[in-house]
Amino acid sequence: MSHISASGLRRQFLFWLGVLAVFILFLMVFRTILLPFVAGMALAYFLDPVADWLERRGLNRLMATIVILVSFVVVFVLSLMLIIPLLASQLNDFIQRVPDYVTQLQNLVAQSNAAWLPDWVDGQMDTIKSNFSRYLSEGIGFVGTLLSQIWSSGKAIVDIASLLVVTPVVAFYMLLDWDRMIAKVDSWVPRRYLGDVREIATEMDNAIAGFVRGQGSLCLIQAIYYGIGLSLIGLNFGLLIGLFTGFISFIPYVGSTVGLLLAVGVALVQYGADWVQVGIVAAFFFSGQFIEGNILQPKLIGSSVGLHPVWLMFALFAFGALFGFVGVLIAVPAAAAVGVLVRFALRRYLESDLYENERSSTVITSTDRLPEA
């Protein structure tokens, strides 16, 4: 590679810093309207391999895009007709019954027998029960209020309507022009940096695709598994809890923990002291986690993502706090891209003269200190 002057390096740094600042400003200014567009781009990215597969089978890009989008819309509309009304009914019923559930759980805790606990714990049971009941009441009350506000919010209805109308249109045009857009962006890259940029882009694509396509498929499978399974077990609001658990399972540990607590909490109220039924609900959740960790995740995601769970959770919370739900959608691609850039920079540093010179000088210095024979 040719050497870059200090002034050229400074200009490049300032240029990309300015691009980053403009991008962040754009997200902050338009974050309230970006959701259907970001969702449409994500959907097109998710379905692009399917379009490529159809092209290899003889369809042109336009026909492949039409087949994919029509199939997707048909499946989505059928889901709306069959599942959404049931979910709406369960959600409305769940919100109304939250206060009663809190009361019953508090009574269950207050009446629990702690004879098997050590004496030093038993002496603190009244305080533990009181604190547990208070935190339970505050937590579930907050969740119930939040769900009620979201459900009754006119803005939420408008956002959902725009999501259903705009997202398929954006996805159609993005999917249709995807290869042309990639080729156009590739033509803008300076030729002397083309190899590096393509290497970085390929690594980013592997990392993002591994998570978006792999984790998206995993979330969908888990949502169906938990939703159908909990409904067959007979748990109240089983479909709602199962689908909710599956769709938030992309958050490491948080999604499965929240789903388990919701399911076991509802089971305790529904079945009372029937610990067999409560155990069946808990065991079903643990079976889902076993299938995910040992079968689905290695096959659908594998090791191509390279996102540490702590880094992923930080990105989700940070982007969510800054940009709302749109931030949650772009958090994973952004985290994957940053991870690829950091690894690329580290590799270049280890291959650079700076690292080699430092290592060589260290060796020479240590050699000079050896006594002469």
**What amino acid is encoded at 294 in this protein?**
N
Cβ neighbours around 239 below 10 Å, total: 19
Q: How would you write the pLDDT of the chain (373 residues) with one tens digit per residue? A: 444 555 666 776 787 788 878 888 887 888 777 878 888 888 888 888 888 899 888 888 889 899 988 888 888 778 777 777 777 778 778 777 777 777 776 666 666 555 444 554 444 555 555 555 555 555 555 555 555 554 454 445 455 666 777 888 888 888 888 888 888 888 888 787 788 888 888 888 887 777 777 777 888 888 889 989 988 988 888 888 888 888 887 776 777 888 888 888 888 888 876 788 888 888 998 888 888 878 877 776 655 555 677 777 788 788 877 777 677 777 877 888 888 888 888 887 787 777 666 555 555 454 454 444 3
Please provide the size of the chain in residues: 373
Query: What's the start-to-end Cα distance of the chain, in Å?
Result: 43
Nearest to 148 by CA among 79, 93, 204, 224: 93
* DSSP label at residue 78: H
pTM: 0.63
Cα 343 to Cα 330: distance, rounded to the nearest angstrom: 20
Nearest to 39 by CA among 61, 16, 88, 72: 72
Tell me how far CA of residue 48 lies from CA of 52, 58, 59, 177, in angstroms. 6, 16, 14, 10
Residues 6+ apart with CB under 8 A from 289: 256
Cα 167 to Cα 89: distance, rounded to the nearest angstrom: 25
Tokens of residue 133, six digits: 């009941």
DSSP string, 247-270: HTTTSTTHHHHHHHHHHHHHHHHH
- Domain spans of the chain? 34-188
